[in-house]
Each structure stands twice: as structure tokens, then as C-alpha cells.
């Protein structure tokens, strides 16, 4: 190398300058690590706070007339989905599922705002469309003109009438499963939080024992597998319709299992929330004298040995309250309409609950299928108003 080339070579920095740069980089790394640790602590606190306002099994109402189960999975550490169940009277409940646009901490903060807004305004006698207008006004003050918005499906259930009233605020329609068929519950409604005076309407439906209500966010139906295929509403409907289980927890478990099998471990791209309610009966004030009169008089059909569907249902029903056992026998009769013993047992439960007209109809159907069954004959004679049915 010539002298001229050597002179063009850069002069290496002095050793002290190298040490200063290394020290500076070390301090910068420590500061970044300190901030990252602080952020993780704040994120852990955010997860803890959010866990307190997403209901769990222990938080669900414990009533013989209905039961609940839910599922929640945030895409990130905290999520923007929400479901809630609020008691609004002696025999009435409010049901809410909502989805805040976006993800992460900002969306989680808005879900807290939405929950408080709904809980502070929902009350017995307040219609669901009025409720949505009131909640919208509250969150519009904070979100109006911003990038965040909220969709929600809100319902109120009166257990004294069995009437379910609902409003859909630009959310996915709920699904009502009845006798193995699904129907969408929908109404006109706008996004919440971005318009000052959006339009909301309401609708209602009379529930019957055995009905199942499904509420969900778009993270469920928009879940994808590694091939990019979407789980979809059609698959969700098919799963919740074919599940014969009465208990909502079994419905949720089956859905999550099917969704996991479909996605095959592919990462989720949205938060997921799912709420299931099973309805069994109206809220009844027991009449003590009538209970004493009729308790233990009608006779259940006894299961045979083996593992027949009837025997399994009878074994399960024996562990349940009368309301729950009736729902189990209703489910069994829906699947096995020609099972005269199941029809008889359903009649017995209806009789115990004071629903004698329905019990009479069930005993009559059982007798048509098995005219010589002495137990059914006795039960029918017991329930007939004039005791001269036969």
C-alpha cells in the first residue's frame, strides 16, 4: 500500500471515545429495559383490572329458571370485547355484549367506560332502545369525533312473563335456538359513540322452556385457519344448533373445541367473546298448599337397566331440581318424540310445578303411544280436572 493510500485510511478513534460510546449505549439499553419493565407491570395491572369486569362462572346468576356460560379471549394482553349480565329487578336481567373498535390498552379502557355506562343506566322498565340512546350520549362525549366506536347487542329478560326485549346497535344478531332450529334476533341500530343522535329500535320475542340464546362478537365468526378460511356464521350456527346439551357450559365448551379444531392453532386477529343463556321456565311463586296436595302423587317411569338414552336422561334428571329436570326431559322428548316413558316423566315434572294443562297434554301423548301403561293411566286420571278423563 502506497503512502498516499495509507494517508486516506480513516483514523481509528481513541480508546477513551470508544469507551464513552459503549457506556452511552449501555445506559440507553438500561433505560429501555426499565421502561419495558414498567410497561409490563402496567399491562399486568390492566389485565387484572379487566379480569374483574368480565363475568366468570362464579359471577353468573344462580337461578332455576335460567343459566349462563361465557367465553372471553383477548387477542393481545387486554381486549376490547365485553359481555355482562345485570340483575334489574326481582325477576329480570339485562344481557349485554359489546365490541370496541381496535385492540390493546386503549380499547380495554373504552370497554370499562361502556360497562359502567350500561350498568349505571339499565333498570327495570327501561326499554332497550332508550338504554342504547342514553349510553350513546354518555360515551359520545368522550369518543365523539374520534377513531373509536362501539357495537353492542342488548337484551332484557322478564322471568315473570318470559318476554325477551332486545336492541342491536350495529352488532352481529343474536341467535335463538329453539327445538334444534336457529333464528336471528335483530333490529335497526347504529354504531355507538360516533354519532350524537343515532337511531335505535327494539324488538321482542316470547321465550319458551328449552330456548337457548347465543350472543357473540366478530372475533368468533372471523377466526381464520392457516389457509385463510373463515370460521363463519354458518358454522357457528350449525354447532350451537346441533348441541343437545341443556347446560350452557357444555355449549361453550363444544364451540371452543370446534373453533380450535378449525383454526388449528392459527393466531387470532381479533378479541373473542361469547355468551350463552339457557331458559327453563318462568319465575313461579310456589303455592304451599298446592305443593303439599300434589307432591309425590304422580309417578315417574323407572329406567330399565343399561345405557339407553332414556336411562341416561333419567339418571341425570334425578340429580337436578324440578325446573332443571323438566328442561332435561324436554330436550330428550325433542330428540325422541315417541318415547312414552319420557313423555310421562315430563308430565310428572309439569304437574309438580303446577302446570297441569301442559302435564295433561304430555300424559295424553304418552297414553296414545302406550295405551296399556297403568302408570300413565293413573297419572292422567290424577291430573284430569274432573277426574273423569278415562
At residue 118, the pLDDT reads 96
CB 64 within 8 A of CB 277: no
pLDDT tens string 47-90: 665 566 788 888 999 888 899 999 998 876 677 899 999 999 88
Overall residue count recorded for the chain in this entry: 390
Please provide the DSSP assignment of 196-240 as one string.
SS--B--EEEE--TT-EEEEE-HHHHT-B-TT--B-HHHHHHHHH
Q: Which residues of 187-209 are buried (b: 16+ CB within 10 A; e: fewer)?
A: bebbbbbbeeebebebbbbebeb
More confident residue, 285 or 167: 167
Q: Please state, for a pLDDT cut of 70, what percent of the chain lies above it.
A: 82
Q: Mean pLDDT for the chain? A: 83
Q: Which residue has the cell 439499553?
A: 29
Q: Which residues of 127-154 are buried (b: 16+ CB within 10 A; e: fewer)?
A: ebbebbbebbbbbbeebeeeebbbbbbb
**Residue range 272-276: mean pLDDT, rounded:** 95
> Nearest-CA neighbor of 95 among 164, 162, 163?
164
Give the span between the Cα atoms of 250 and 233, in whole angstroms: 19
CB 199 within 8 A of CB 189: yes
Continuous segment of H or E residues that includes residue 138: helix 128-143
**Cell numbers for 259:** 373453533
pLDDT tens string 162-182: 999 999 999 999 999 998 899
Provide the pLDDT confidence category of residue 288 given band limits of 50, 70 and 90: very low
At residue 13, the pLDDT reads 57
Burial class (CB in 10 A: 0-12, 13-18, 19+), 37: exposed
**Cell numbers for 385:** 280436572
Indicate if the pLDDT at residue 43 is higher than 60: no
**Residue range 319-326: mean pLDDT, rounded:** 87
What's the fold here for domain 288-383? 1.25.40
Give the span between the Cα atoms of 325 and 40, in whole angstroms: 48
Query: Which whole-number Å values give the CA distances from 270 to 54, 165, 217, 221, in the listed order?
Result: 17, 28, 9, 10
Indicate if the pLDDT at residue 32 is higher than 50: yes
Across the beta sheet with 150-158, the strand order is: 81-89, 92-100, 150-158, 163-169, 203-206
**Cell numbers for 18:** 470508544
pLDDT tens string 148-158: 899 999 999 99
For 207: left if phi > 0, alpha if psi spans -120 to 50, otherwise beta; the answer is beta
> Nearest-CA neighbor of 379 among 365, 363, 368, 361?
363
Helix 340-352, helix 322-335: angle, nearest 10? 150
Q: Which CATH class is domain 56-279?
A: alpha beta
Q: Which residues contact 191 (CB under 8 A, 6 or more apart)?
A: 149, 150, 151, 169, 170, 198
At residue 26, the pLDDT reads 73
Indicate if the pLDDT at residue 146 is higher than 80: no
Query: Which whole-number Å values give the CA distances from 130 to 42, 134, 137, 275, in the listed order?
Result: 37, 6, 11, 23
More confident residue, 18 or 302: 302
Query: Which whole-number Å values give the CA distances from 142 to 121, 169, 179, in the listed order?
Result: 17, 18, 44
At residue 217, the pLDDT reads 95
Indicate if the pLDDT at residue 383 is higher than 90: no
**Residue range 20-37: mean pLDDT, rounded:** 72
At residue 382, the pLDDT reads 80
Provide the pLDDT confidence category of residue 287 given band limits of 50, 70 and 90: very low
Provide the pLDDT confidence category of residue 385 given band limits of 50, 70 and 90: low
CB-side neighbour CA atoms (13 Å) of 318: 10
Which of 163-177, 341-355, 363-377 has the least mean pLDDT?
363-377
Provide the pLDDT confidence category of residue 357 given band limits of 50, 70 and 90: confident
Domain ranges of the chain: 56-279, 288-383
pTM: 0.65
More confident residue, 309 or 51: 309
Give the span between the Cα atoms of 206 and 188, in whole angstroms: 19
At residue 281, the pLDDT reads 86
> Nearest-CA neighbor of 352 among 331, 375, 321?
321
> Nearest-CA neighbor of 66 among 175, 176, 162?
162
Amino acid at each position: 500500500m502506497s503512502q498516499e493510500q495509507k494517508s486516506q485510511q480513516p483514523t481509528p478513534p481513541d480508546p477513551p471515545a470508544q469507551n464513552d460510546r459503549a457506556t452511552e449505549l449501555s445506559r440507553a439499553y438500561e433505560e429501555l429495559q426499565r421502561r419495558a419493565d414498567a410497561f409490563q407491570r402496567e399491562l399486568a395491572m390492566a389485565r387484572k383490572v379487566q379480569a374483574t369486569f368480565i363475568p366468570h362462572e362464579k359471577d353468573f346468576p344462580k337461578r332455576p329458571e335460567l343459566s349462563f356460560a361465557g367465553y372471553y379471549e383477548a387477542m393481545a394482553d387486554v381486549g376490547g370485547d365485553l359481555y355482562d349480565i345485570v340483575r334489574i329487578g326481582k325477576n329480570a336481567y339485562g344481557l349485554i355484549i359489546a365490541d370496541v373498535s381496535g385492540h390493546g390498552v386503549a380499547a380495554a379502557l373504552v370497554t370499562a367506560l361502556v360497562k359502567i355506562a350500561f350498568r349505571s343506566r339499565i333498570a327495570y322498565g327501561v326499554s332497550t332502545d332508550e338504554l342504547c340512546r342514553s349510553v350513546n350520549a354518555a360515551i359520545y362525549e368522550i369518543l365523539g369525533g374520534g377513531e373509536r366506536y362501539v357495537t353492542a347487542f342488548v337484551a332484557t329478560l322478564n322471568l315473570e312473563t318470559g318476554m325477551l326485549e332486545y336492541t342491536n346497535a350495529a352488532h352481529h344478531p343474536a341467535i335463538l335456538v329453539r327445538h334444534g332450529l336457529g333464528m336471528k334476533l335483530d333490529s335497526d341500530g347504529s354504531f355507538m359513540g360516533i354519532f350524537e343522535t343515532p337511531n335505535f329500535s327494539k324488538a321482542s320475542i316470547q321465550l319458551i322452556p328449552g330456548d337457548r340464546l347465543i350472543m357473540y362478537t366478530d372475533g368468533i365468526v372471523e377466526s381464520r385457519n392457516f389457509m385463510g378460511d373463515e370460521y363463519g356464521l354458518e358454522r357457528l350456527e350449525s354447532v350451537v344448533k346441533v348441541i343437545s346439551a341443556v347446560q350452557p357450559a357444555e355449549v361453550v365448551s363444544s364451540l371452543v373445541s370446534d373453533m380450535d379444531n378449525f383454526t388449528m392453532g392459527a393466531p387470532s386477529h381479533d378479541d373473542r367473546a361469547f355468551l350463552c343463556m339457557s331458559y327453563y321456565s318462568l319465575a313461579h311463586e310456589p303455592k304451599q298448599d298446592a305443593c303439599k296436595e300434589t307432591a309425590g302423587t304422580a309417578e315417574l317411569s323407572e329406567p330399565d337397566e343399561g345405557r339407553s338414552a332414556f336411562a341416561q336422561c333419567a339418571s341425570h334428571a334425578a340429580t337436578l331440581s324440578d325446573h332443571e329436570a323438566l328442561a332435561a326431559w324436554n330436550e330428550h322428548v325433542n330428540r325422541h318424540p315417541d318415547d312414552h316413558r319420557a313423555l310421562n316423566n315430563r308430565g310428572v315434572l309439569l304437574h309438580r310445578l303446577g302446570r297441569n294443562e301442559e302435564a295433561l297434554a304430555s300424559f295424553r301423548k304418552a297414553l296414545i303411544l302406550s295405551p296399556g301403561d297403568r302408570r300413565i293411566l293413573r297419572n292422567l286420571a290424577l291430573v284430569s280436572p274432573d277426574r273423569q278423563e278415562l
